[in-house]
Amino acid sequence: MTAPATAAADDSAADRRRLARGGGLSFLGSALSALLGFAATVVITRSLGDAGAGQVLQLIAVITIALSFGRLGMDSVGVWLLPRLGEAPQRIRPAVTLQLGVALLGGGAAALVVALALPQLATGIDPDLLRSAAAVLPAGCVMLVALAALRGLGGLRGYVLIGSVVLPSTRVLALLAAALLVATPLALGLAWALPLIPLAVIAVVVLLRRVRASAPPPGSGAGRPRRASWIPDRGLTRQSLGYALPRTLSAVLEQGLLWLDVIIVGALAGSAAAGDYGAASRLIAAGLIIDTALRVVVAPRFSALLHAGRRSETEALYRTAASWLVLFSAPIYLLLAVFAPLVLTWFGEGFGDGATALMILCAGAIVTFLAGNVHSLLLMSGRSGWAAANKAIVLALNVTANLLLVPVFGITGAAAAWAGAMLLDAVLAGVQVRLLLGIRPALGHVLGALLVPLVLVGAPALLLRWALGATLPALLLSIGVGGAALLVWARLDGRRHHLDELTAAFRRRS
């Protein structure tokens, strides 16, 4: 092996170790966040029933979409731009100032739209609920952008602690208090939203400490001290906004894909149907823990590698992350699909109507994950415009399919529309990454990874469901049998997907 090839192989191995270490921390945070998010949904559904829960889940959908607009793409700018400023650390301070300032303005604009415009539309959501929750949007946008900048500067621990531990924990406690004191949609909606305000302050403080450690203070270099080191210049502003504007559209459309169907179901089929579908779709969101954990780590690394022109290392990291995504996420969705009737009863009576929808959503998620973190790869290459165009096409398909299918098939039609839209989104991004970046998706390698959980988790779960029914003992046995089988496989054949490096990283961390 030549010296350049050896160096490239060493760099790829180092990237996999970095992915394993950071992914492990991010996974723990994402898993806890998903568990607490599930607990929050259970508190909402059991306190209010499907109709009242539908109101709150529709509100969460509106606030989430509004947050994606109000950030104005500055969260993606932080993850994309800040890792590239290692050679010019004096630009970090003005970059962070710009990102937080734009987020504050965008959050204020989003709050006005939600408070003044949406109550005039026939959304089916209580106008008082919309007006009250809109006040948190400026703080929420600042918090999310501050966390993204922290992540871009390598502050993964703070990012995980605030965003994945403190925020969902505070929400669950606030929801429990509201459910015990005043179990109304308004009380629980505010309990979900209000924690964004104090955590925005905490996130900004932690970010500023990280910035001071990463960037030199004014006048630390040779020559005359800079007069306003926190103020962005025209070049930095133009660079940031040029990337952010298409990403804003992309982010709004992306959240629209995740949440708009809940609003459409509520408008076409009523709040009770929105509650049933919202509960099922929240289980899918809870299953995104692996995707979230890996994306948090790989996105800044993709940006740095692509900026340095290291395509082969980028492709190697992308393939490893894709196989890990399928190996660790598919078992979650397989178990959710097989035991859908049981899992939905945890939300309370009346939610079992979403079982078929949950099965379809799980199948769509598994197929979509075959593309790996392809969306992060496209964004970190600077092609935010391409990503926005993809989301526009996919959202148009999703809305059209919902309008056609929901009146006929109800929430099952909404699930089919979402699954089809997600598949198209992955295909578009995969083709563009191949054509624009020259990075191949290695579908055969990822399909081999998918075969492992299908055989070791899916098949035993189906047999136990057939023998014992959709019961808690059957689910627990499926988890035990599937988990043991995966551990044995990882020991015997895990090296094929670099699981030995993942295990070694956890041992070193311990």
pLDDT in tens, 158-183: 888 888 889 989 999 999 998 888 88
Instruction: Specify the pLDDT at position 415.
Output: 87
Mean pLDDT of the chain: 78
Instruction: Specify the pLDDT at position 505.
Output: 41
The single residue listed with the structure tokens 């899916």 is 458
Q: Report which listed range, 192-201, 282-291, 301-310, is most confident.
A: 192-201
Other Cβ atoms closer than 10 A to 383: 20
Q: Which residues contact 149 (CB under 8 A, 6 or more apart)?
A: 75, 78, 82, 96, 99, 100, 207
Q: Which residues contact 155 (CB under 8 A, 6 or more apart)?
A: 206, 207, 210
Instruction: Tell me the helix, strand and coil percentages in the chain, rounded to 5.
Output: 85, 0, 15
Dihedral class, residue 349 (left if φ above 0, else alpha if ψ from -120 to 50, else beta): beta
| Residue 507 reports pLDDT greater than 60 | no
Residue 71 to residues 237, 398, 461, Cα–Cα distance (Å):
15, 23, 42
Instruction: Specify the pLDDT at position 504.
Output: 45
Task: Delimit the domains of the chain by residue range.
Answer: 16-216+235-503
| Residue 506 reports pLDDT greater than 50 | no
Give 171-174's long-range contacts (Cβ < 8 A, gap of 24+).
171/36, 171/40, 171/195, 172/36, 172/39, 172/40, 172/43
Distance CA 365, CA 290 (A): 12
Distance CA 258, CA 117 (A): 22
Instruction: Specify the pLDDT at position 223.
Output: 47
Burial of 17 (0-12, 13-18, 19+ CB in 10 A): middle
Instruction: Specify the pLDDT at position 228.
Output: 43
Residue 253 tokens, joined: 């459309």
Percent of the chain whose pLDDT exceeds 70: 80
225 pLDDT tier (thresholds 50, 70, 90): very low
| Residue 269 reports pLDDT greater than 80 | no
| Residue 22 reports pLDDT greater than 60 | no
DSSP for 30-48 reads HHHHHHHHHHHHHHHHHHH
pLDDT in tens, 409-465: 888 888 898 888 888 888 888 888 888 888 877 777 788 888 989 999 999 999 999
10 pLDDT tier (thresholds 50, 70, 90): very low
Residue 449 to residues 274, 369, 426, 433, 453, Cα–Cα distance (Å):
35, 11, 18, 21, 8
pLDDT in tens, 98-109: 888 889 999 999
pLDDT mean over 480-495: 82
Cα 83–chain centre separation? 20
Instruction: Specify the pLDDT at position 348.
Output: 72
| Residue 241 reports pLDDT greater than 70 | yes
142 pLDDT tier (thresholds 50, 70, 90): very high
8 pLDDT tier (thresholds 50, 70, 90): very low
* SS3 state of residue 287: coil
Instruction: Specify the pLDDT at position 198.
Output: 92
Helix boundaries (H) for 73-125: 74-81, 92-112
| Residue 401 reports pLDDT greater than 70 | yes
pLDDT in tens, 293-337: 677 667 777 777 777 778 887 787 788 778 888 888 889 899 999
Give all strands (DSSP E) within 127-243, no chain letters: none
Q: Which residue has the higher pLDDT, 48 or 297?
A: 48
Instruction: Specify the pLDDT at position 258.
Output: 67
Q: Report which listed range, 21-25, 211-215, 503-507, is most confident.
A: 211-215
Q: Which residue has the higher pLDDT, 257 or 169?
A: 169
Sequence letter at residue 157: R
Q: Which residue has the higher pLDDT, 214 or 508?
A: 214
Cα 396–chain centre separation? 21
Sequence letter at residue 279: A
Shortest CA distance to 244 belongs to which of 394, 374, 98, 107? Answer: 98
Sequence letter at residue 143: M
Helix boundaries (H) for 228-270: 234-269
Q: Which residue has the higher pLDDT, 254 or 211?
A: 211
Instruction: Specify the pLDDT at position 138.
Output: 93
Q: Which residue has the higher pLDDT, 411 or 215?
A: 411
pLDDT mean over 252-261: 69
Q: Which helix (H) or strand (E) holds 214?
A: helix 196-214
Residue 354 to residues 343, 347, 414, Cα–Cα distance (Å):
10, 11, 11
Other Cβ atoms closer than 10 A to 112: 12
Contact 442, 301 (CB under 8 A): no
Contact 218, 229 (CB under 8 A): yes
